[in-house]
Amino acid sequence: MKIIVTTNHEELSQRAADLVVDAVRAKPNLTLCLATGSTPTRTYELLAAPKNVKSDQFAQVSIIKLDEWGGLAMDDPATCEVYLQQHICQPLGINSERYLAFQSDSPTPEEECLRIQKALEKVDPIDLCILGLGANGHLGFNEPAEWLNPFPHVATLTQSTLQHPMTQQTDVAIPYGLTLGMANILQARQILLLVNGRHKRMLLEKLLASRITTGFPASFLWLHPNVTVICDQEANPGGHVR
C-alpha cells in the first residue's frame, strides 16, 4: 500500500486528479469506478476543469457508479446518481453507453444487482477505482459484518451510514443501499483511497494497522497489489505512514 500525505484537502484533490489524468493519458478508454461523498468532490471538480473538458481528455472513458442509496427516485438530490451526473457525467460528456450505474428506484433491487454483475462480466476489469473511507470502515456500502459479499448486493445500512450528510438532502427514509461487492472492488487494476479530515484519523490508523477483518471492510485493501492512499495531514495518524 502506497501512502501519500498531503498538506490539505486541496492538495489531496490535486494529487488524485493528476493521477486520474495520467491514467487516462496512458489508457484513453479507461474504466473508472467512482465513489461519491464529500471526500472526492474537489477531485471531480478539478477533473472537470475546462482544460480537460476542452481537450476531450475523457472522450473514451467509461464510468461505473460504485454504490447508491436505494429506494430514492433517480432524480432525488440525495442520490449518488445526481451527484455523479452533476460532477462527472455532464461536465465530462460521459454518455449512457459509457456509464454503468445502479437504478436507485428499481422495484426489484436484487435483480438490479444481478444486472450490474452481468454487465461487469461483459467488460474488461475496472482500471481505477476511487474510494472514500466510510465512517465505520465501509467501502461503497460494504458494511462491517460477520461476512462480506463479493458481488453487487442490496446492503442493510448501519445507523452511522444512514447519518451520512448525503441522506440529509432527502425527506425519504432510505431503506437499503446498492453497492458493488468486495470482489468487484478488489478486481480493479488500481485502487485509490482518499482520506481527509481529523474525523477520519482514527479510521486511517485502524486501516494502517494492517489487520484484515470483515469488521473493517477497508482492511481488505491489504489484499490488493496496487492501492494508493492519499490522505491529508489532518487524517494522517503520524508514525504509521511510510
* DSSP state letters, 70-103: TTS-TT-TTSHHHHHIIIIIHHHT--GGGEE---
Nearer to ligand GLP, 70 or 140 (CB): 140
Q: Which residues are catalytic?
A: 67, 136, 138, 143
104 touches ligand GLP (CB under 6 A) = no
Asked if residues 157 and 174 have their Cβ atoms less than 8 Å apart, the reply is yes
User: Is residue 137 near ligand GLP by the rule CB under 6 A?
Assistant: no
Stretch that binds ligand GLP, among 12-20, 52-60, 128-136, 168-176 (CB under 6 A): 128-136
**What's the order of all strands across the beta sheet hosting 153-155?**
67-69, 177-179, 153-155
Contact mark string toward ligand GLP, 20..39, x via CB under 6 A: ---------------xxxxx
User: Which of 91, 140, 181, 217 touches ligand GLP (CB under 6 A)?
Assistant: 140
Task: Choose, by CB under 6 A, the member of 44, 141, 216, 220 that binds ligand GLP.
Answer: 141
Which cell is 181 given? 461487492
Q: In the bound complex, what is the minimum distance in angstroms from residue 229's beta carbon to ligand GLP? A: 13
User: Left if phi > 0, otherwise alpha if psi is -120 to 50, otherwise beta: which for 131?
Assistant: beta
For residues 58 and 141, which CB has a smaller minimum distance to ligand GLP in the complex?
141
Asked if 226 contacts 156 with a C-beta cutoff of 8 angstroms, the reply is no
Report, in Å, the least distance between residue 95 CB and ligand GLP: 23
Of 31, 52, 161, 236, the residue at the interface with ligand GLP (CB under 6 A) is 161
Report the C-alpha dihedral over residues 115, 119, 125, 131, rounded to 10 degrees. -40
- The DSSP 8-state label assigned to residue 23 in this structure reads H
Whole-number minimum distance, CB 51 to ligand GLP, in Å? 26
SS3 67: strand
The residue among 120 and 235 lying less far from ligand GLP, judged by its C-beta, is 235
How far CA 89 is from CA of 47, 59, 196, 231, in Å, comes to: 11, 11, 24, 25
At closest approach, how far in Å is the CB of 36 from ligand GLP? 6
Check binding of 163 to ligand GLP (CB under 6 A).
Answer: no
Nearest distance in Å: CB 123, ligand GLP: 21
Sheet with 190-195: list strands edge to edge: 2-6, 227-232, 190-195, 128-132, 31-34, 62-65, 99-100
Rule CB under 6 A: which of 41-100 touch ligand GLP?
66-67
H helix or E strand, kind and range, residue 65: strand 62-65
Nearer to ligand GLP, 57 or 185 (CB): 185
Residue closer to ligand GLP by CB (options 27, 205) is: 205
- C-alpha distances (whole Å) from 220 to each of 18, 68, 187 are 25, 21, 12
Residues that bind ligand GLP (CB under 6 A): 35-39, 66-67, 131-132, 134, 140-141, 161, 164
